[in-house]
Each structure stands twice: as C-alpha cells, then as structure tokens.
Structure 1
C-alpha cells in the first residue's frame, strides 16, 4: 500500500500540506510532478532546474520523484504504478486538471498556494482595497506547516523504468545566459527571503519603485513554483511596518480570487464592453516592442532585460504594457502571451490579471485615461539613466549630465546613430488612444476590427 503525492507548483518540503500529510500516514510515498497545461518556455526552463533539485531533496529519504507530461494520461500512469505497488491514497495541493471519477474517493486536496482559504471569502470582490480589508478582517491566514517528519516506512525500494525522466530544455544560448542571474530551488528561495529581510525590507516602501536599484525581493519565481510558501512569508512579515510589502502579497491573493471565478481571463476581458474594440495594429510596431527597438529608452531597456534575464521590475511591467496597449493600440492578449512565454515568474492568475489592470478592462483597473509616460517615468525612477545604460549599449558614451530619457526626444541630434528613431509620437498616440477609449466608454457605435491574435 502506497501514498501518491501529486505536485505541480509546490516544489518544497516546508509547508507542503500534501507531502506533510502523506508522511504522517507512515506508508511508502511516491511523488509525481504533473506538467501544467499552460507553461511558458522561460518558466519551463526554471521548472526543469527546480525539479532536479527537488528530486535530490527527496532522494535523501529514498522517495522517488516521477514526472507526468500530460495529465490526460493520468489513468495510464496509475495502472503502471499499481503494477508495482497498490496506490491507496492520493494527496495534492490543488491541480489544474480534474482527476477521473474513480479516484475521487481516495483523493484529498489541500490549500498550499494562498494565504487565506478561498472558500472563506463568500462574496466575489471586484476592487482590491475592499477585498484585502475584508479578507484580513474576517478570515484567518493559514498557518504554515513544518517540514515532514520522514521515517523509514516512507521509503520506496522500487526501480521505476517509466515516468522517471524529468523534462529538459534544448540547449540554447539564452538558457546558458540566464544561469548567471538566478539561484533556483527551495534552499535558494529561503536564502533570498532572508537576504531581502536583512538588506532591503526596511527601505522597501521607497526603494521598490526605482528600477535602477535592486530594491525588490525577487521572490516571485520562487512563489510561482512553490519553492517557498506564501504563508511563511506572510507570517514572517505581517506587521504595520511591512504593510506595503504585505499588500503586494495581497494583490497576488486578489488575482487568484478573480481567477477562481474567471478561469479564461487570459483571453477574455473581465469588462465585456472591451471585447471587440481593438483596431488593426501595426506588425512592425509589435516587433519593435518585442525586440526593444521602439526608440524609447526605458521601454527598450526593459524589454531587453526581459529577453536576457526572464524578469522585469514591476513598474517597468506597467510601463511596457501601457505602451503596447495604450500607445500602440495592440491587444493586451498579445502582450500577455509574450510575457507568459518570457517571464520566469509567469503566473496563470497574476499575469493576465495584471495585463487587464493596465489595459483598463479588468475588474479593478487603471482608468483608460491614465497612460504612463515613459520619459517622465524614466526621469523619476532612473534619473541618471543607470538602468538604460546597462541594457542599451548604444548609450554607453551618452553624457552622464544629460537627461537620457528626455533629451533624445527633445533634441534628436543627441540620439546615438545606432539607436532607432521613435516608432510613434507619444503625444499624438496618447490622443488617439484617448479618443478610442472614450468612444467605448460612451458606448458609441464604432466599427473596429477584432484583434488578430497569434
């Protein structure tokens, strides 16, 4: 008799309810990672590394880690396992697929990905602030569990010749390059949390906005794959002095609250009046945005950073999303897909929810008339152009005394010869966007073509 633990985004030992409860049964344990249905290539790179580290942790206790590429083959895998040892109980921490009916009675799922139990929030909220106030006032955060108390009875002395191969990425220069930017796995996540608390948390309210500084926690990819528990972080930092950081965890909680009720929000606007209003867009503009060649330094630096490291500062995410949607008038779904494929922390709830927030079509969104100005944002949060110079080698010789964000717009002769001209005029594109959005908000009859999604 064995206990099967199914994992997807919970590759850790500390505060892992499925693993913890499986160990308590004092029966042999088999752990299976099931590939998610939606996974970007950059996130998959992280996952491949994380799975191998997690396998090493489990091997210390003679626990096998198997892998299932396609959840549709779940029944076949169970038949295979039952040929070796009978599966008596199944535990998970929430899955993106439904188990076949004949396994429901032996399956128990636990909360592992959120601070609060979703079922405790009986009302559906559309605005973040009342949601966060209500859930903190009326609901109790789930306490994190300790590490499993392993015993010899949990060991599995079986050699599996199938489902034993973990996923791998094809050799690529980008993956080799990203190796230098990240430490992966549960130990690295705990280390990053401690470093953040010691060196950055006290200045987080101020430092978090400056993208030329390393003022954020960068815990998001570790949270994405469950290498660290959000409940652990919240319990450790939940006090008045850390209110700003805890509200960021609350935003993630809110995204999942909305996602629970709108699982298709990566494609369909939460506000239905924005379904069919996008005009035809310029393919050259889209390619320039993707490749960091728009002629706006802060936009281009952020997009090249993304392509290189798989990560982007949160304020920059807002800027480049606003530029795509509200200056280039390109459907937000296209930007969401690009981010989902290129971010190490591409989260199925947070990524589309945040894009809808910027696009103005979500439940709690930036007003349509708020269009981020990349020159002003760069001037305010990267005043010396340190971030831009780091990611745009074209500006290596640009004078430090110059305003790198404003001067090349106001004085085109200062623009480096090998750096592109702006693909649009910011002022006129802003006016175009405002008139387009106003027509929708006023419910005027306007015939515009549907987006051409890739």
Structure 2
C-alpha cells in the first residue's frame, strides 16, 4: 500500500540542509518529506558531469545522506530518467507535491518546465525555488529590458539589490511510514576504477560541513588579504569555495550575508562574476558550443592533437602553463590566474579552439560549472561578453615572473626544474648548458623544449585575428 500523502524534495545541485528553500518549504507543508536524488545523465543534455565532478558528487551525496539520517530521515537514490523516477514515486508514495531548487542551464530549464506540466497532469504540483543564485536570471535586465553583456553595469545593478532571507536547516524531518527502495550509492559508479583521484582526498572535503569549514577559514585568515594575494598561485589567497558553490553545499546568499562588508567587496565581486556567468548562459543558451560574437565562428582555428595532448599533460615547455595543468590533473583544480595563462596559451599561442579547452576543464575540474567554464573560455578567447580583446595575449614568461616571482608554485608542480635559479625558471631555454647541467635539466629529455616560440605564437594569433576581421569586412 502507498504511504499517506507526502512531499518529495528533489535534490540536485543543492546538496545541503541549511538555506535550502525547497527543503524549508517542504518542511513547512506538515507532510512527511521524502528526500530524493536522481542520477539522470541523459537529462543533463550534452553536459553530464565530468570525471572529477563525479568524484565530488559521490562524496557529497554520502555526506548529505548522513546529515539526513541524523534528522531521522534518509536520502533516496535513483538512477534514470528524472520524469520516470518522479512519476513512479508520485504514484507509489501518493506524493502531492515535488519541491526543487532551480537550475538555469538550458537543457535543465527545458526539462524542468516539461516536468512541471507533466506532474500537473498526474495530480501533483511541482514547486521550484531559487536556491543557487543571488537573483533569478529572468528578473535581471538592463534599462532597455535586455540582458547585460558587460560586467561592470551588471555589478552596479546587483550590488544595491537586497538578497533573500536565509532559511534555517530543519531540526527534524517527518519520515514517511515506509521508505521506498533506494539504489546503493556505489551503484552510481561515480568513483574512478583507476585511482587517479588519490591526491583529491588531501585537498578537498566535499559536503556541507566541508564547505562551512572552508568558509570559516577563509573569513578568519584569507579575506583580509584576498585582494592582495588572489593572483598569487603560491599563496593560499583564495577561498577555494568554488566546488562547494557548484554542488550547492553552500549558497551564494550565505556567502553574501556572512561576508558583506567593505573589506569583502573584492571577493563579493567574484560572487557576482559567477552570477554574471549564469545570467549569460540563461539568456544565450548556445554559448557552451558557439561564440557569443558570431564573427568568431569564422576564426581560423587549427587542429593540432599533438600540441593539445602536450597542453593537457603539462608538457608545453612553458613552466607556468605546465605547473597549472599538472595542478589541475593532480588536484582537480587550478588557480584562477594560472587558468587564464594556460587558457590563453591554448587558444592564442596554439590556435586550438576554445571548445577543446572547455571540454578538458569540464572533465578534470571538481568545480566544473557550465556557466563559469563557458564564460571563462569565451572571455579568454575574445569571443564572449565583456571579453578580453583577442589581441591581448598573455606572455607565459612574464606572467610567471610577475605572479610567481620566487618560483614556489612552479617548483612545486614542475619539480624537474626546482634547481634552476629564478632568472631562468620561466624560460629555461635561456639558461646556458652549464647552468642547465648544474640544475640537472636536459631540455628535450627531462623537460620539454617549448612546443611553440612565444613571439611566433603571438604573431600567428595576431595574423589569424586579422584574417577573421578582413573576412568580416568582406561579408559586410
């Protein structure tokens, strides 16, 4: 026999109990609450979670399940079509409402809209809430009623707007009289068979508790020096909250309300930058695969699988680029300044399409967020909203010298260069044979020679940009 009427809380990218609008409203219903997570890979459209994100998801779901059990509840896990799972549970458990927090990725918006309609057809109500952003994208527009395409006006528009009130975590949750069957977490096969994730455990603590601990540490030790140190990859100068935000283990509203101050403004701007990314993705849903600036569809990109593999493996011959790519592979994360340097190298020095870089980041980042990843790559490629001009080309040598002046970051991630003096650390090919030998470096053997010269790569990028401009002018 089915349970007496209950409500389903459908967890997605909101794997927390505190400040969870959908969970709070479900608790206020007075009915038993059935927490549910569905692994619906087909429902994610072209962007199911990459390998590093799947690792994080496994551990975050385990932590959420433990939290719910401490409240006398449990997390029901199912794999398959979101609609099929929901409709089966609505029928078998006599659920009258399904609560969830909205996601704003294009494929998810379409899917959820259809699910709401179909729930109504079977006598249940779908109720959704904004639990992932400061403000819902449809509610934000410029003075002409159009989407923002430049960050500074977007920031000025959002900064004075009040954010919603925080909702408390439930102290208890009324359980159904009988729990439906749940898949074991291990059946989701989220963890890798080959243990390439070993170092992840030293760097991350997925789950709401881990997010709170990270925020507390940043507020006490990192916030005051954030503006000065956020561009220095050797320093612990950033919050590292991005994967916690992506999986909804903490909300941007929690960060905003807990950190809001003049001192925190440089960091809060980054929260709004994240907001801007989601605003753009919502209004321009083709941008994960197509440039926002259409002229870049005719950009003369190159296909160079050998160079792409060298970039992925951190074997480009440019130490700051290689350090970042190795940090990414080892920890599932890369410092943001180095992300910009490494990304610029791929699309400008190598002329490899930004979509190739976005796909690699998607698979290897624990904070792989479709909106942030898309905007970041289009920004560096010069083809998105408020993007860096394409002709602005990062010099990987001077960037390393400027932001890793003592070489601590490079020496950590490219240890074969550890004995080189700072003078040559970011351009080891400039060292004499004697200096290389003294540092136990043999170019082409223990460390690669540059796969492209900086001046050569820069000029090729400028030439390609000029050809695109000329083609646009001919067409107009």
Q: TM-score, normalised by structure 1?
A: 0.92
Structure-2 separation of matches of 1:354 and 1:425:
25
Q: 1:53 aligns with which of 37, 46, 63?
A: 63
Shift of 1:237: 1.6
Q: Does 1:67 align with 2:77?
A: yes
Shift of 1:228: 0.6
Structure-2 separation of matches of 1:236 and 1:162:
36
Secondary structure of the equivalent of 1:180? helix
Shift of 1:190: 0.5
Shift of 1:235: 1.2
Q: 1:29 aligns with which of 33, 37, 42?
A: 33
Q: Which runs of 5+ in 2 are unaligned?
A: none
Q: Report how many residues are paired.
A: 440
Q: Does 1:82 align with 2:91?
A: yes
Q: 2:297 aligns with which of 272, 275, 278?
A: 275
Contact persistence 2:99–2:128 (CA under 8 A): yes
Contact persistence 1:185–1:222 (CA under 8 A): yes
Structure-1 separation of matches of 2:455 and 2:154:
36
Report Cα offsets for 1:360-419 as digits up to 9, x if no partner: 0001100111111111111011111111111112113324x544114x142363452110
Shift of 1:162: 4.4
Structure-2 separation of matches of 1:343 and 1:170:
14
Shift of 1:110: 0.2
Alignment RMSD, CA only? 1.9
Q: Does 1:429 align with 2:448?
A: no
Shift of 1:102: 2.6
Shift of 1:214: 1.1
Structure-1 separation of matches of 2:88 and 2:401:
61
Report Cα offsets for 1:13-52 as digits up to 9, x if no partner: 1100010111111211111113361211100100000001
Contact persistence 2:89–2:95 (CA under 8 A): no
2:53 aligned partner: 43
Secondary structure of the equivalent of 2:30? coil
Q: Does 1:298 align with 2:308?
A: no
1:91 aligned partner: 99
Q: Does 1:16 align with 2:20?
A: yes
1:263 aligned partner: 285
Q: Does 1:136 align with 2:144?
A: no
Structure-2 separation of matches of 1:22 and 1:429:
56
Q: Which runs of 5+ in 1 are unaligned?
A: 448-454
1:450 aligned partner: none
Report Cα offsets for 1:110-145 as digits up to 9, x if no partner: 0001112323313311000011101224x3222221
Report Cα offsets for 1:277-301 as digits up to 9, x if no partner: 2333322111100100000001001
Q: TM-score, normalised by structure 2?
A: 0.88
Structure-2 separation of matches of 1:172 and 1:302:
22
Structure-1 separation of matches of 2:269 and 2:301:
36
Structure-2 separation of matches of 1:73 and 1:108:
15
Alignment of 1:326-365 (within 5 A): 326-365=348-387
Shift of 1:442: 4.0
Shift of 1:305: 0.6
1:405 aligned partner: 426
Secondary structure of the equivalent of 1:173? coil
Shift of 1:269: 0.5
Shift of 1:446: 9.0
Q: Does 1:124 align with 2:133?
A: no
Contact persistence 1:116–1:140 (CA under 8 A): no
Secondary structure of the equivalent of 2:457? helix
Structure-2 separation of matches of 1:373 and 1:290:
19
The worse-fitting range, judged by mean Cα deviation, of 431-440 and 216-225 is 431-440
Q: Does 1:312 align with 2:322?
A: no
Secondary structure of the equivalent of 2:232? coil
